[in-house]
Amino acid sequence: MVSALGVTTVLGGCGSTGSSDVTLRLVAADYGDSAAGSSKKYWDALVKAYEAKHPGVKVDVSVYSWNDVDAKVKDMVAAGHAPDMAQIGAYADYAAAGKLYPASDLLSIRTQADFLSQLSDAGQWNHTQYGIPFGASTRVLFYNKTLFAKAGITTAPTTWDELAADAKVLKDKGVKYPVALPLGPEEAQAETMQWMLSGASGGTGYTDDIGTYTIDSTQNVETFTWLKDDLVGKGLTGPVAPGKLNRADAFTAFADGQVGMLNGHPTLIQQAEKKGVKFGMVPMPGRTGKARASMGVADWMMAFKQNGHADRIGDFLNFVYSTKNVLEFSRQYGLLPVTGSASNAMTDSDAAPDAALHPFLDQLPTSELYPVGKTSWAAVSAAVKQNIGRAVAPDGSPSGVLTGLQATATAADSSSKS
């Protein structure tokens, strides 16, 4: 989730790198699914290319799994030994604590202007960008073409009613999971947001346009009532209760040919292809038509102020975000480019692996991201993971569960501002 990277000219760096030696320390997440594909290889190649042109600068990169990397950085910062840079899942807490450089103190104007606008906006805390997008993905609806053909279904659904009708036909043909609904604690916040965005009246997501939590909106209550009554209640989501079905297990079941339909991100392409599953991908159906937006996800690069070195950090990051390097990373790990130049290059390419990512790229311009700029989001996300499955349980109350989550979100938001 790279081959040796070429050297590109850094345009408009934020100051001279000087002649004295300096070592920059970067902690990064591992996007690989094995030791052979570890992100360490990507960073080793990139750093080697950078250091060849900058003999006074060394870049020391430590790569950790996604299970550990956020905690590693948190511990380093708490111990007073913040890295110069971190490429992890969230930035807002560090920005609110005054520990990060603004992106404008680091990056050239050209680099800043190249980021996709919705990703730059999502990287803002208190109207200043501190989070620098690093990798992105969106969600589309995957469907098993073989199961569809056996059930006599000739086209993918474009509305919820069509999705439910197709799921009923698949169930009648003995498909184990007609439509998988992973609302288990692993990644329930993602599945939840995708359904919210595709709901009635355009869907509201977790927040409104000004960032106020709207978890218990009328549209969201209607969405989960429909899921409870029209999918789960009719036995169309499989033998495992949605609140106990994790995303990874749902993906495995799809790759094993047991799932008719489910929301997925680019990782599922390779997973399904390895098992020989013939699948199609379409935009997420909406209540009465195509969903207003897809859910987007971004990971973040950030730079800590503790050690200084803003000019060196900026020069290195301008190199990291060159079009060539962004494309190399995106292609290696099946992620979407975070810059306009790389995104356009991928869109214009019909070669592998770019072509397989086109359906996800198509969703990116209108995608909506988690409210990662809110320091309360971590607590809200954890509450969603723990509780949202109960909203669609046989004895569950969508309104009650969403009202409870709204109360949690409001309290967390107030606490983060106090």
DSSP per residue over 260-293, as a string? Answer: EEEEE-THHHHHHHHTT--EEEEPPBBSSSB-S-
Task: Give per-residue pLDDT as tens, 296-352.
Answer: 999 999 999 999 999 999 999 999 999 999 999 999 998 999 999 999 999 999 998
Q: In this model, does residue 8 exceed pLDDT 70?
A: no
Which pLDDT band, with edges at 50, 70 and 90, does 13 fall under? Answer: very low
The predicted structure's pLDDT at residue 133: 97
**How confident is the model over 165-187, as a mean pLDDT?**
97
**Who has greater pLDDT, 11 or 226?**
226
Return d(Cα 337, Cα 344) in angstroms, integer: 9
Cα distances from 90 to residues 87, 115, 417, in angstroms, run 9, 18, 18
Contact 305, 313 (CB under 8 A): no
User: Percentage of the chain surpassing pLDDT 90?
Assistant: 85
User: Do the bridges between strand 124-125 and strand 177-179 make them parallel or antiparallel, or are there none, so unpaired?
Assistant: unpaired
pLDDT tens digits, 249-307 = 999 999 999 999 999 999 899 899 999 999 999 999 999 888 888 899 999 999 999 99
With the CA atoms of 249, 253, 256 and 260 taken in that order, what torsion angle do they form, in degrees rounded to the nearest 10? -150
Token reading at 110? 């050209």
pLDDT at site 36: 83
Which two tokens mark 271? 């997973």
pLDDT at 45: 97
Amino acid symbol at 341: S
Paired with 90 in beta bridges are none
Average pLDDT, the chain: 92
User: Could you give the count of Cα atoms lying within 13 Å of 334 in the half-sphere of its Cβ?
Assistant: 16
Strand 128-129 relative to strand 132-138, pairing? unpaired
pLDDT value for 96:
95
Q: Which residue did the predictor score with more confidence, 142 or 203?
A: 142
Give the per-residue pLDDT at 415: 84
Strands 85-88 and 22-29: parallel
Distance of CA 351 to the CA centre of its chain: 24
For residues 302 and 100, the answer to whether their CB atoms sit within 8 Å is: yes
Q: What is the mean pLDDT of residues 241-255?
A: 96
- Whether the per-residue pLDDT at 178 is higher than 70: the answer is yes
Helix (H, G, I), strand (E, B) or coil at 86: strand
Q: Please give the Cα distance from 358 to 347 (Å, whole number).
A: 6
> Is it the case that residue 145 has pLDDT exceeding 50?
yes
Statement: residue 30 has pLDDT above 90 = yes
196-211 mean pLDDT: 86
pLDDT band with cut points at 50, 70 and 90 for residue 221: very high
Q: How far apart, in whole angstroms, are the C-alpha atoms of residue 325 and residue 241?
A: 42
- 82-94 b/e (C-beta count within 10 Å ≥ 16 → b): bbbbbbbbbbbbb
Give the position of tokens 């292609």.
331
CB 401 within 8 A of CB 224: yes
Residue 225 confidence class, pLDDT cut points 50, 70, 90:
very high
Q: Residue 113: CB partners within 8 Å, gap ≥ 6?
A: none
Rounded to whole angstroms, the Cα distance separating 330 from 326 reads 6
Question: What pLDDT was estimated at residue 20?
Answer: 61
According to the model, what pLDDT value does residue 10 have?
Answer: 28
Q: What is the SS3 assignment for 299?
A: strand
Question: Which pair of structure tokens corresponds to residue 311?
Answer: 């000019």
Q: What is the dihedral of CA 30, 140, 226, 161, to 10 degrees?
A: -160
Taking the alpha carbons of 204, 209, 213, 216 in that order, is the dihedral positive or negative?
A: negative
Higher pLDDT among residues 34 and 21, named by residue:
21
The counts of H helices and E strands in the chain are 17, 12
CA distance 55 to 21: 8
Q: Can you tell me the distance from the alpha carbon of 64 to that of 188, in angstroms, rounded to the nearest whole number?
A: 23
Question: For position 204, what pLDDT does the model report?
Answer: 81
Residue pair 286/159 in contact (Cβ under 8 Å)? The answer is yes
User: In the prediction, which pLDDT does 250 show?
Assistant: 97
Please report, as a single letter, which amino acid is at residue 295: M
Q: Is residue 160 within 8 Å of residue 285, measured between CB atoms?
A: yes
Parallel/antiparallel/unpaired status of strands 85-88 and 279-282:
unpaired
4 has pLDDT over 50: no
Over residues 228-236, the mean pLDDT reads 98
What structural domains does the chain harbor? 22-137+296-369 (3.40.190.10), 140-293+376-417 (3.40.190.10)
**Angle (deg, nearest 10), helices 188-197 and 377-387:** 90
Give the pLDDT confidence score for residue 181 in this predicted structure: 98
pLDDT recorded at residue 289 = 85
Read off the pTM. Answer: 0.86
Mean pLDDT in residue range 387-407: 98
Tell me how far apart the alpha carbons of residues 281 and 263 are, in angstroms, rounded to a whole number: 9
